[in-house]
Amino acid sequence: MTQPRVRALAARTTSGYRRAWARERLRDSFWPIPGLLLAAGVALAAVTANARALGIPAGLRAGPRVDPGETSTVLGITASATLTFLGVVFTLTLVALQLASSQLSPRVVRQVRFIEPVLAWADILDLAFSEITAFGAGSVQVSRRLLAAYDALEAAVPAARRPGVAARRAGLLQESADQGVSQAGLVPDALGLG
């Protein structure tokens, strides 16, 4: 079995490495071709706008005669469709990059990084239980279901997160006692029947 060939740069100068790095970045990047097309479009627009100053005849003999109003309408529709297409492509690019950045390593997604705030454990517990506790602590059935949820949660989470669940349980028991629910009837039950 033959060994695969490895191409490596000779260690002569750093400029060789920089050129190789620039070639690789240009080859891997998506934006050079659209950038060149954009530059060509701007150059064509400049030439068209300054056609008389550049000596380009106003009317070319080839092709059919077209009314300037119709030309303006066609160009407006074309520009509108192009901008719509550009918006769709940009949106799809962002969605693809977001999916790729969440599934692939940072080496694969080199330049784009999305930073999403992650909720702390206390925030997740607040989001899940605060409103239910505030409005349901006066109901024996709701309190029983919440206590069962806290039991299941304590069994599933790591030991470092259990104090937050225990604090929520104590808060529920205090809230239900404040609303006149008998503490003897508060038995954890997922169905709320007791």
Both 128 and 165 in one domain: the answer is yes
Per-residue pLDDT tens over the stretch 137-187: 888 888 888 888 888 888 888 888 889 889 989 988 888 888 888 877 788
Residue 29: what pLDDT? 75
- Number of domains, the chain: 3
State the average pLDDT over residues 38-44: 91
Residue 130 lies in a domain: yes
More confident residue, 112 or 171: 171
Q: Quick count: other Cβ atoms within 10 Å of Cβ 45?
A: 10
Average pLDDT, the chain: 79
Both 127 and 181 in one domain: the answer is yes
Q: What is the pTM of this model?
A: 0.41
> Domain range for residue 38?
14-57
Q: Quick count: other Cβ atoms within 10 Å of Cβ 112?
A: 12
Both 146 and 180 in one domain: the answer is yes
Per-residue pLDDT tens over the stretch 122-139: 888 888 888 888 888 888
- DSSP character string of 141-182: HHHHHHHHHHHHHHHHS-GGGHHHHHHHHHHHHHHHHHTT--
